[in-house]
Structure 1
């Protein structure tokens, strides 16, 4: 297993960020965290994933919500922090 980083467009909506990260997980990776970082002359979202063994996929699908949104029933808090959503710093939580 190895760790790798993917840039997620800071102009995306929160729903689209959830879809982008879920899409990466569909390739056999597992979300670990997001960090704001300076990359290629701009501040952006850099998402860290762990590569999973062949045939493994994390379930259920990851869901990102605004920090103040109610926790979804039956979901466990996975990560919380600040990311760029639609170009603005936004406090969010990730659930699975």
Structure 2
């Protein structure tokens, strides 16, 4: 194993660990059950999306795996939408309980 492969493996492991830690703290920072359920649902969808894109790139036949690469940044475009949904759920919960 050369240095490039070791660096690639180490970088992938560190990146996945960072993603898991970020997912945990993102869910843990929610304060209401509805908000937590949405955060869990969005997190699962995000991890499944990334796993599907990476799986297609690695295991699909040669021309098809390369066509999947543009789907990767779809997560980046979905994050603001998810944040708006979480803020809306938080605002609705606060309005229904009468909190400030």
**Common topology (TM > 0.5):** no
More strand as a share of residues: 1
User: Shorter-chain TM-score category?
Assistant: under 0.3
Q: Does 1 or 2 have the higher relative contact order (CA < 8 Å, sep 6+)?
A: 1
More helix as a share of residues: 2
> Normalised by the size of structure 2, how large is the TM-score?
0.25
Of structures 1 and 2, the larger Rg is shown by: 2
